[in-house]
């Protein structure tokens, strides 16, 4: 049976295997040499090792095909669907969807659309609970600004936010990289939040609600009507790139 794991979790997996495997091994030896009751002592480290392996799972996903779609950049539960009057990276009104990732979710992040990475911005910060309203401003985060393709409005923002348990954000892309919808772009280790922010153009609608469970790369979060698709062209995206690249954006 094939069980794909995220390569960025290899260090943690090796450390966990060494420490927890050693504890389970000593317990097993004691169970054979001293008393069968020592088998009970092997259960906690074995369970923790299995949890760590499961946390870094990286399953294949079926990415939806078709124009005008934004897929989820993360697994988890939708905690916010809102319209913002102005977003600093968009330079105008925006539609924002946030997902909370518990320690039981897949933590590999994916891109919401085809496009080219304009830039990434790492911001150090605190480690508040990822469900707290102020965590998006105060917590450690990494912002990926994407110029979308396929006639989608841009720039598109994917933001990785560390949580109370997460202590490391991994970003695998940089300026100039070409992305395909659903492509892996990073990982947040042990509990976190991911935001998707898109310009609030006419005809763009969110098709998820707060409380919905979503899967990265396969669940559609937003879509454009066909009329809206025809109204978004290269000129609008060039303007979006200019706004995203301008100082203070």
Q: pLDDT, tens digit, for every residue of 120-158? A: 999 886 666 656 666 666 778 899 999 999 889 889 999
User: Is position 104 within any domain?
Assistant: yes
Same domain, yes or no, for 46 and 144?
A: no
Same domain, yes or no, for 14 and 91?
A: no
Same domain, yes or no, for 102 and 147?
A: yes
User: Is position 1 within any domain?
Assistant: no
User: Is position 2 within any domain?
Assistant: no
Same domain, yes or no, for 125 and 179?
A: yes
Same domain, yes or no, for 149 and 96?
A: yes
Instruction: Give the pLDDT mean for 45-52.
Output: 76
Same domain, yes or no, for 44 and 92?
A: no
Instruction: Give the pLDDT mean for 52-58.
Output: 79
User: Is position 60 within any domain?
Assistant: no
User: Is position 165 within any domain?
Assistant: yes
Place of tokens 């949890």: 51
Instruction: Give the pLDDT mean for 102-113.
Output: 91
Residues 6+ apart with CB under 8 A from 215: 61, 72, 75, 106
Residue by residue, DSSP assigns the chain as ----B-GGGHHHHHHHHHHHHHHHHHHHHHHHHT-GGGGGGGHHHHHHHHHHHHHTB-----PPPSSSEEE-SSSEEEEEEEEEEEETTTTEEEEEEEEEE-TTS--EEE-SSSEEEEEEEEE--B---TTSTTHHHHB-EEEEEEEE-TT--S-EEEEEEE-SS--EEEE---TT-EE-TT-EEEEEESSEEEEEEEE--TTEEE---TT-EE-TTTSEEEEE-HHHHHH--HHHHHHHHHHHHSTT-
User: Is position 208 within any domain?
Assistant: yes
User: Is position 99 within any domain?
Assistant: yes
Is pLDDT of 231 > 90? no
Is the pLDDT higher at 5 or at 60? 60
Same domain, yes or no, for 184 and 221?
A: yes
What tokens were used for 75? 């697994």
Domain, as residue range, for 27: 7-55
User: Is position 164 within any domain?
Assistant: yes
Q: Are 74 and 161 in contact (CB under 8 A)?
A: no
Same domain, yes or no, for 105 and 178?
A: yes
Lowest mean pLDDT among 42-56, 80-94, 165-179: 42-56
Instruction: Give the pLDDT mean for 215-238.
Output: 70
**In whole numbers, what is the pLDDT of the chain averaged over residues?**
81
Task: Give me the percent of the chain exceeding a pLDDT of 70.
Answer: 73
Same domain, yes or no, for 84 and 38?
A: no
CATH of the domain at 110: 2.70.70
Number of domains in the chain: 2
User: Long-range contacts of range 9-12, CB-CB < 8 Å, 24 or more positions apart?
Assistant: 9/55, 9/56, 9/187, 9/189, 12/52, 12/56, 12/189
Whether the pTM exceeds 0.85: the reply is no
Same domain, yes or no, for 12 and 124?
A: no
Q: Are 188 and 101 in contact (CB under 8 A)?
A: yes
Catalytic residue flag (residue 35): no
Same domain, yes or no, for 187 and 110?
A: yes
Which one of 72, 98, 141, 192 is the catalytic residue?
192
Same domain, yes or no, for 181 and 90?
A: yes
Select, from the ranges 45-49, 117-121, 122-126, the one with the highest average predicted confidence (pLDDT). 117-121
Residue range 86-102, pLDDT digits in tens: 988 888 999 999 999 88
């Amino acid at each position: 049976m094939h069980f794909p794991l995220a390569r960025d979790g290899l260090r943690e997996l090796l450390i966990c295997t060494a420490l927890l495997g050693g504890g389970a091994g000593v317990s097993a030896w004691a169970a054979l040499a001293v008393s069968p009751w020592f088998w009970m002592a092997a259960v906690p480290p074995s369970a923790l090792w299995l949890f760590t392996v499961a946390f870094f799972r990286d399953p294949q996903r079926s990415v939806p095909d078709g124009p005008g779609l934004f897929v989820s950049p993360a697994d988890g539960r939708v905690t916010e669907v809102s319209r913002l009057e102005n977003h600093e990276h968009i330079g105008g009104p925006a539609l924002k969807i946030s997902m909370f990732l518990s320690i039981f979710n897949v933590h590999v992040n994916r891109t919401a659309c085809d496009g080219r990475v304009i830039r990434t911005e790492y911001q150090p910060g605190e480690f508040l609970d990822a469900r707290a309203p102020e965590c998006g401003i105060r917590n450690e985060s990494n912002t990926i600004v994407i110029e979308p393709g396929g006639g989608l409005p841009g720039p598109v923002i994917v933001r990785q936010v560390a949580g109370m348990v997460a202590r490391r954000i991994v970003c695998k892309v940089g300026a100039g990289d070409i992305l395909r919808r659903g492509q892996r772009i990073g990982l947040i280790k042990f509990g976190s939040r991911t935001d998707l922010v898109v310009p609030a153009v006419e005809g763009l609608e969110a098709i998820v609600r707060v409380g919905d469970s979503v899967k990265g790369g396969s669940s559609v979060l937003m879509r454009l009507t066909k009329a809206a698709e025809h109204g978004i062209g290269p000129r609008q995206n060039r303007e979006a790139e200019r706004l995203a690249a301008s100082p203070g954006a």
